[in-house]
Structure 1
Amino acid sequence: MLLTNRHPGWPAKTPTIATGAGRVRLRPLSRRDGRHWSEFRNADEHLLRPVEPTVPGQWWEAHTKAMWRRNYSGLTALAAQGVLLPFAIEVDGAFAGQLTLGNVQHGVVCSCWIGYWVYSGFSGRGVASSAVSLGVDHAMTEVGMHRVEATVLESNVASRRVLEKVGFREEGLLRRNLHINGQWRDHVLVGLTVEERRSGK
């Protein structure tokens, strides 16, 4: 059996979408993204910590350049297996955040989840919704997914608005689904299928 790091839709760059902040696209994460990843996530701790999985220890300790190198190695190893596709979100060629297609399953399932974060310096100008839209289209065309899902805290109004704008519909509530900022939290499950994406419903 021939082993390869190439899989449907990976590695690849997406088309661009024009936004109020500039032209948005997705590209594979690079080792060189570490400086901005560390800087942006430390600057946005007050925004990210309340909505992301619990980080053991101090936030800054989990967001050093050394930790980036470790995270990057883990992400690229999973990408080589085709089970997780880690993208950088770019605005006019500059690193602006991260988007991941995870638990990529083919066969009779053909589904994955999508997760993302965008640096606050780019917020409010359509970057997040454009990035998620690009991620969904890439998953459904290049990767071959039939369904994309996401989970979001009930209280995360901004992220719920982004997902709704892209076309995700609410499917249910996952009780005590993830350990967030020190406690188990409920999450709203949303989903989107190829048929819904094509019809805009």
Structure 2
Amino acid sequence: MYIEPQEIHEISDGVILRPLAQGDASALCAAYVENRKHLEPWEPERPQSFFTVEGQTERVEGLLRDFVEGSVVPWVLQSDDGRIVGAVTLSGISHGPFCSAFIGYWVAADRQNRGLASAAVERVCRGARDLVGLHRIEASTLIDNVGSQRVLEKSGFASIGMAPSYLHINGEWRDCRLYQRVLHDRVPAM
């Protein structure tokens, strides 16, 4: 799948949503270092190399390879000063009868409660439907991540159940609430 350069969208407050680019490793590194404590309760344990430019270069290269192969679509939220202040990723993209993907997202600590995550998730859902042709998107949140649950519900996701010991987050297996959003009911391309 190819995303055209016009797939850059103003989200709000001088923040754009745009496809991840090869040159983003340094800005991503800075964003993850700055938001390390903020994201720690919601993410898997990260090796120290994750918080280096080299580690992010390797990660970006992997995401872009997966993008070319059609299994991932990575986006970043970028402020008008050039800082990366969040990300949204569609992963596990499957076509055929499943026609689905998973969505993950984060927003920087200093950009919380401004509607950025909801607007970005909504825009990515539209792209998943219109550009990727997906039928549904699935998401999971830790049971106590009420903020993320609000983002999903505001973006049209419905809770579809609980999954015990679903993700290994911050050093332990955690229960999650599962969500999905059905994007359309067209017959999938085979």
TM-score of the superposition, structure 1-length normalised? 0.84
> What is the Cα deviation at residue 125 of structure 1?
1.2
Does the CA-based 8 Å contact 2:100-2:135 persist in structure 1?
yes
Identity of aligned residues (%): 34
Residue correspondence of structure 1 range 161-180 to structure 2 within 5 A:
161-180=150-169
SS for the counterpart of 2:132 is coil
Instruction: Provide the C-alpha distance between the structure 1 equivalents of 2:184 and 2:128, rounded to a whole number of angstroms.
Output: 14
Between 117-126 and 151-160, report the one with greater CA deviation: 117-126
Residue number among 20, 25, 28 corresponding to 1:37 in the alignment: 28
Cα-Cα RMSD:
1.9
Residue number among 14, 35, 42 corresponding to 1:51 in the alignment: 42
Which residues of structure 2 form unaligned runs of 5+? Answer: 186-190
Instruction: Provide the C-alpha distance between the structure 1 equivalents of 2:9 and 2:64, rounded to a whole number of angstroms.
Output: 23
| AA partner of residue 47 (structure 1) | H
Deviations 1:77-132 (A, max 9, x none): 11111011111123447332211111111111111111111122222211111110
Q: Which residue is equivalent to 1:16?
A: 9
> What is the Cα deviation at residue 154 of structure 1?
0.9
Question: How many residue pairs are counted as aligned between the two chains?
Answer: 184
Deviations 1:123-145 (A, max 9, x none): 22111111101111100111000
> What is the Cα deviation at residue 32 of structure 1?
2.1
Q: 1:36 to 1:15 in 2, by over 3 A?
A: closer
SS for the counterpart of 2:66 is helix
Instruction: Provide the C-alpha distance between the structure 1 equivalents of 2:32 and 2:67, rounded to a whole number of angstroms.
Output: 22
Residue correspondence of structure 1 range 22-101 to structure 2 within 5 A:
22-25=14-17, 27-56=18-47, 58=48, 61-92=49-80, 94=82, 95-101=84-90
> What is the Cα deviation at residue 195 of structure 1?
4.4
| AA partner of residue 87 (structure 2) | Q
Residue correspondence of structure 1 range 109-120 to structure 2 within 5 A:
109-120=98-109
TM-score of the superposition, structure 2-length normalised? 0.88
SS for the counterpart of 2:101 is strand
Instruction: Provide the C-alpha distance between the structure 1 equivalents of 2:111 and 2:7, rounded to a whole number of angstroms.
Output: 19
Residue correspondence of structure 1 range 153-164 to structure 2 within 5 A:
153-164=142-153
Instruction: Provide the C-alpha distance between the structure 2 equivalents of 1:195 and 1:96, rounded to a whole number of angstroms.
Output: 30
Which residues of structure 1 form unaligned runs of 5+? Answer: 1-6, 197-201
